[in-house]
Amino acid sequence: MSGVTSGAARQKRVVIVDDSPAYCDLWSNFIAERYPTRVEVETYSHPYDALPKIDETIDLLIVDMEMPGMDGRKFVDYARQKGIPPKRIIVTSAVSVDVLHERFRIGETIAVINKTEPKQQEAFLMILDSIMRR
C-alpha cells in the first residue's frame, strides 16, 4: 500500500480463502482486473494459512464453506471474533443456496453465494461493486 498519497483513497484489502487454487486464482485475477488501482487481493488455499492474517483491516473476506481441516462456518466465526463485521464476509459454495441459508442466518454474513449459478454470480458482482465504492 505504499505510494498512496494524501487525498487518495486507500486500497481495499480482499482476502479469499478457498481450498481450490483454481477458484482463488479466478477470483483474484477477476477482482484485480475489475478494480486495478483500488484493491489488494490475498488468496489462501488452506484455511490455517489464512488464520494469522485475519484482522479488522480486511474490507472483504470471501470464504468457501467446504474446506479440508476447517469448514467455512468455523472460519467465519473466527473472523467475526477477530473484528470483521458480517457486512464484510461472503460465504461461497457449490451447494445450493438453500443449504447455505440453513448454515448461515441473515445478518451473519453479507451474503451466501453459490459459486456455480449465474444469478448468484450477478449478486456477487453487485456486492463487490458496492464494497469497492465505499
pLDDT at 78: 96
pLDDT at 52: 97
What's the average model confidence in pLDDT over 11-35? 93
Q: Which of 65, 59, 64, 72 is nearest to 1 (CA)?
A: 59
Cα–Cα distance between 46 and 109 in angstroms, integer? Answer: 21
35-64 per-position pLDDT tens digit = 988 899 999 999 999 999 999 999 999 999
Task: Examine residue 86 and state whether it is found in any structural domain, yes or no.
Answer: yes
pLDDT at 9: 64
Tell me the residue range of the domain where 79 lies. Answer: 12-133
Mean pLDDT of the chain: 87
Higher pLDDT, 39 or 115: 39
78 burial class (0-12, 13-18, 19+ CB within 10 angstroms)? middle
Task: Examine residue 100 and state whether it is found in any structural domain, yes or no.
Answer: yes
What's the average model confidence in pLDDT over 66-95? 92
7 pLDDT band, cuts 50/70/90, is: very low
List own/partner pairs for 118-125 with CB under 8 A and 24 or more apart: 124/90, 124/92
What's the average model confidence in pLDDT over 101-108? 82
| Alpha helices (H) in 35-117, listed in sequence order | 47-50, 72-81, 97-103
pLDDT at 1: 39
Cell digits for 26?
Answer: 479466478
Task: Examine residue 21 and state whether it is found in any structural domain, yes or no.
Answer: yes
Task: Examine residue 79 and state whether it is found in any structural domain, yes or no.
Answer: yes
Provide the domain count of the chain.
1
Task: Examine residue 45 and state whether it is found in any structural domain, yes or no.
Answer: yes
pTM of the entire predicted model: 0.87
Task: Examine residue 17 and state whether it is found in any structural domain, yes or no.
Answer: yes
Task: Examine residue 3 and state whether it is found in any structural domain, yes or no.
Answer: no
Task: Examine residue 110 and state whether it is found in any structural domain, yes or no.
Answer: yes
Q: Residue 86 belongs to a domain with what CATH number?
A: 3.40.50.2300
